[in-house]
Amino acid sequence: MDVSEVVLLDFWASLFCMRVKIALAEKGVQYDCKEENLANKSQLLLQMNPVHKKIPVLIHHGKPISESNIIVQYIDEAWQNKHPPLLPSDPYLKAQARFWADFVDKKINDGARRIWSTKGEELEKAKREFIEWLNVLEEQLGDKAYLMGESFGYADIAMVPFYCWFYALETIGKMSIEKECPKVVAWMKRCMERESVSKSLPDPHKVYEFRLQKLNNKTT
């Protein structure tokens, strides 16, 4: 397969782009990665995602697919002959996997962003709520290896990129996620043992420096 058949419009620090990279790696799909400057978006990005003008965008045979969870589902279906499947075949379990991916987007992502966008009492509240949401994931994990059972898949892909944000969240929020949510961190570490994950996530310290720079820019 010519890599030009598959193009990812990417930004290195984007959790959502990381999801797509993990899914492509799990399926063994070769692709051309084009790094975007989000302060000066390319004409290709504006053309391929005219509605939201955001990354990631997967371009397959010249046709764009946007929104990370939708892209991951597309990858699973477009390369369904390549193993392993990312979504369960059972309709109920498939719905559950989608539910947890949606939970990550609505609760975990929002909670993380509030930790580094607030101060004082609001920050303390954001930290408490973030840990509460992670505890919900701990309950779902139980004694399972992965979020939906013994196989790595769609729901895990939705969450695992947050692992490279944990250092920044702990440093900025002066908190210990592992102390509060040991099962979640053990699960993240288990996911990191997969080459598809470890090669798709940037260094947490680099993410922290990037986040710190953005915070400093907001206050100047």
Q: What is the mean pLDDT of residues 112-122?
A: 92
pLDDT tens-digit profile of 2-32?
556 999 999 999 999 999 999 999 999 999 9
Tell me what the pLDDT averaged over the chain comes to. 94
Bridge partners for 57 per DSSP: 9, 66
Note the pLDDT of residue 169. Answer: 96
The CATH number of whichever domain residue 155 belongs to comes to 1.20.1050.10
**Structure tokens that stand for 119 in this block:** 């101060």
Phi, psi of 27 (to 5 degrees): -90, -5
Q: Write down the pLDDT at residue 214.
A: 77
Q: Which of 30, 46, 78 is the last residue of a domain?
A: 78
Beta bridge pairs of residue 58: 8, 65
Same domain, 7 and 36: yes
Question: What are the CA-CA distances from residue 79 to residues 82, 132, 136, 144 (Å)?
Answer: 6, 36, 32, 27
Last-in-domain residue among 52, 78, 104: 78
Model pTM?
Answer: 0.95
| pLDDT digit string, tens, across residues 132-159 | 999 999 999 999 999 999 999 999 999 9
pLDDT per residue over 60-73, tens digit each?
999 999 999 999 99
Q: Is the pLDDT of residue 124 over 60?
A: yes
Which domain, by its residues, includes 110? 91-219
User: pLDDT-based confidence at 216, cuts 50/70/90?
Assistant: confident
Q: How many domains does the chain have?
A: 2
105 and 212 share one domain? yes
Instruction: Say what the pLDDT of residue 116 is.
Output: 86
Q: Which of 78, 106, 131 is the last residue of a domain?
A: 78
Is residue 66 located within the same domain as residue 125?
no
